[in-house]
A and B are shown apart, each in its own frame.
Chain A
């Protein structure tokens, strides 16, 4: 049984660019949630995907968008990058909608210059 994996590990972009982050959920999990963790803060919920549909969204602008694929892997896309988007982006998978059963990946460290 493989855990949650994320790619890439690190990424450097410049302001205004677009970025795509990827997440493979744990085997058997059909729900993926994305979080942004800024330095010194806790993870903040971006959105959740359940069976390929968005199911809940946090206080993030529309330039943050996502996808979930039939194999339940997921992508997070961020357009028009801003300096404040620099953060660790965490993906978590779970079975069904249970927030308590989430398993997190190691994250992608995004730096926007």
Chain B
């Protein structure tokens, strides 16, 4: 049972444009959501998170939006840069992040120069 779903395995975007990565979840106990970025031969790197008490969190070029009623979150990258090319994992946790983190299957983003 995949509790965190990333339905787009890959995404290609032109440099300078917006990248939008989507994620859906099924477990209503999740109240803390995270995005990780992973380059080949490296472990995932934490990017940005959002608590269920918010609907938006911004950090530089990265913004995460949370729609609790739809059980959907998205990561916006503006403007996209070639260095953003990586696999992005959506993840979720319960109890404010104090329980195990459940990951999605990842979306491979390619930013074309």
Residues of A near any B CB (own CB < 8 A): 4, 33, 35, 40-45, 48, 56, 58, 90, 92, 97-107
| CB within 8 Å of A: which B29-66 residues | 32, 34, 36, 41-46, 49
Residue total for B at the interface (Cβ-Cβ under 8 A): 25
How far is A45 from B89 in the complex, measured between Cα atoms in Å? 14
Residues in B neighbouring A40, C-beta threshold 8 A: 105
Residues in A neighbouring B93, C-beta threshold 8 A: 99-100
Contact call B89/A43, Cβ cutoff below 8 A: yes
Out of B32, B41, B89, name the residue touching A99 (CB < 8 Å).
Answer: B32
Contact call A48/B44, Cβ cutoff below 8 A: no
Residues of B near any A CB (own CB < 8 A): 4, 6, 32, 34, 36, 41-46, 49, 89, 91, 93, 97-106
Per CB-CB distance, the 8 closest pairs between chain A and chain B, nearest first, are A104-B43, A42-B103, A100-B97, A99-B97, A99-B93, A99-B101, A45-B100, A97-B98
Contact call B99/A99, Cβ cutoff below 8 A: yes
Contact call B104/A92, Cβ cutoff below 8 A: no
